[in-house]
Amino acid sequence: MQAPSALAHALRRIVGEKYVLTTPEALLVYAYDGSVDRSLPGLVVLPGSAEETVQVVRTVREAGWPLVPRGAGTGLSGGAVPLQGAVVLSLARLNRILEIDPDNMRAVVEPGVANLDISKAVQPYGLYYAPDPSSQKACTIGGNIAENAGGPHCLAYGVTTNHVLGLEVVLANGSRVWLGGKLQEEGGYDLRGIVIGSEGMLAVVTKIVVRLLPLPEAVKTLLAVFREIDQASSAVSAIIASGMVPSALEMLDRLTIEAVEPAVHAGYPKEAGAVLLVEVDGLREAVEVQGAQVEAICREMGAVEVRSAENPQERERLWAGRKGALGALGRLAPNYLLLDGVVPRTRIVEALRRIRAISEYYRLPIANVFHAGDGNLHPCILFDERDADQLRRAKEAGGAILKMCVELGGALSGEHGVGLEKQEYMPLYFTPEDLQAMAKLPQAFGSADFLNPGKVFPQGKVPTAFRPTTRLPADAII
């Protein structure tokens, strides 16, 4: 392995003096993402173009260092945390929208473009980019590709992989290739689909062709208020069972509302046990009919109030509460561990009851704000990392929730990825043969032990979170 000073010197010749960071205070900024894990990088490099990225990848590879691609650092599973003192390759400077093709409803962007900026740029053409993570003002499209990010509107419109047509990537050997392109289907193996969601372990993305959608003619946003969270959960199943697929169907529980309302003033009743945020869009006539159906179903399931946004400002205020929920939870605790396990919609009631039992057992509050329409839970475990015992209990509670999701017929992750957070729990969902097959992909791409090493695959740990020393009550087995 080449000495850090020699590598830094070589990289500065590529990207410029100020775009290679080596001071302790600068490295600390890149030691974490939105998860609870931390690890200092060896150094940080910020190329300004695809051409510079190629040279950086080649130089770091020849120097014998591991490399971790990084977007905005808003990920929630430790995917951008640089293990083994790796070099962090920040793509923040590759932030240009290169082409907008309104006729074919396509755009070509660089990975450092913020998610929301794509929709802002194409709005004058009557278009938008559908995937909308709650961090869309800050998260970048490159990071969205790494984790196959979703968002509230993924219920009807799908996640990142459904809206990315092509990728220009730099492989581990420094070669630059296109996977997919500007057409809906190009034939051959879907290598584009393999890279999306690969958590930076296969290639470095430098350009993206995104699919755009026309802005809907009409949008209706409703807030349904329930006394009990079980009623809200039952309403979710009833809405989907009716044959309707809203563009978004989100739930916030009482603890989340208690944090959100004083911070955002979204208009959520503080005394509610839970609220549903439901949105339908499309042709004006269809939207009115579906909005009335949603209201009728919610009232039948016990809603004490169903409110409809009367103008864009009210709609934005309702959504500000949902998208600002995680920040607002900082009013209740200095740290949180946010999970994204998935359960079948029909098991949401049971899943939330078991999360309450886990909260009581580990003596930590757990707020629930999640994509209810597709069963993508987001239990948020609140704790103070300055207390080592609280941190331990938070991690164990997280493991218990993940096990519960799998037991109920769900999955470990809906959109946050595996990263460091869930890697030890992968054997709960995948067989050894599954894991061996997946592990061959980095080898095939020539990126094993070089691009983002030590992530996703189990590293020999034992999931002790599933062996509590004190037995839970019989009706709360996790």
Residue-averaged pLDDT of the chain: 94
**Phi, psi for residue 336 in degrees, rounded to 5:** -145, 155
308 vs 220: CA distance, rounded Å: 7
Q: Could you tell me if 367 and 253 are in contact, meaning their C-beta atoms sit under 8 angstroms apart?
A: yes
The arithmetic mean of pLDDT across residues 432-455, rounded, is: 96
Q: Could you tell me if 88 and 68 are in contact, meaning their C-beta atoms sit under 8 angstroms apart?
A: yes
**What would the two tokens of residue 13 be?**
């010749």
Q: What is the DSSP letter of 471?
A: P
Q: What is the pLDDT of residue 250?
A: 97
381-390 tens-digit pLDDT? 999 999 999 9
Lowest mean pLDDT among 114-128, 231-245, 450-464: 450-464
Q: What is the pLDDT of residue 473?
A: 40
Cβ atoms < 10 Å from Cβ of 290: 22
With a CB cutoff of 8 Å and minimum separation 6, the contacts of 201 are 441, 442, 447, 451, 452, 453, 455, 456
Q: What is the pLDDT of residue 460?
A: 63
Q: What is the pLDDT of residue 187?
A: 82
The arithmetic mean of pLDDT across residues 13-28, rounded, is: 97
82-101 tens-digit pLDDT? 999 999 999 999 999 999 99
169 vs 206: CA distance, rounded Å: 6
Is the pTM for the entire model greater than 0.75? yes
447 vs 460: CA distance, rounded Å: 21
The continuous run of DSSP H or E covering 20 comes out as strand 20-21
41-86 tens-digit pLDDT? 999 999 999 999 999 999 999 999 999 999 999 999 999 999 999 9
Q: What is the pLDDT of residue 184?
A: 83
Q: What percent of the chain has pLDDT over 70?
A: 96
Q: Is 473 helix (H, G, I), strand (E, B) or coil?
A: coil
Strand segments (E) across 264-373: 274-282, 305-308, 335-338, 366-370
Q: What is the pLDDT of residue 185?
A: 80
Sheet with 106-109, edge to edge strand ranges: 97-101, 106-109, 204-211, 164-170, 176-180
107-148 tens-digit pLDDT? 999 999 999 999 999 999 999 999 999 999 999 999 999 999
Q: What is the pLDDT of residue 339?
A: 95
22-45 tens-digit pLDDT? 999 999 999 999 999 999 999 999
Looking only at the bridges linking them, the beta strands covering 335-338 and 379-383 are antiparallel
Q: What is the pLDDT of residue 15?
A: 98
Q: What percent of the chain has pLDDT over 90?
A: 94
**Phi, psi for residue 144 in degrees, rounded to 5:** -60, -40
Q: Could you tell me if 75 and 416 are in contact, meaning their C-beta atoms sit under 8 angstroms apart?
A: yes
With a CB cutoff of 8 Å and minimum separation 6, the contacts of 351 are 343, 377, 404, 405, 408, 410
Which domains can be identified in the chain, with CATH numbers? Answer: 4-90 (3.30.43.10), 97-214 (3.30.465.10), 218-328 (3.30.70.2190), 333-476 (3.30.70.2740)
**Residue 463 clears pLDDT 70, i.e. is over it:** no
Chain Cα centroid distance, residue 429: 19
Q: What is the pLDDT of residue 186?
A: 80
Closest CA to 11 of 106, 87, 97: 87
Q: What is the pLDDT of residue 337?
A: 96
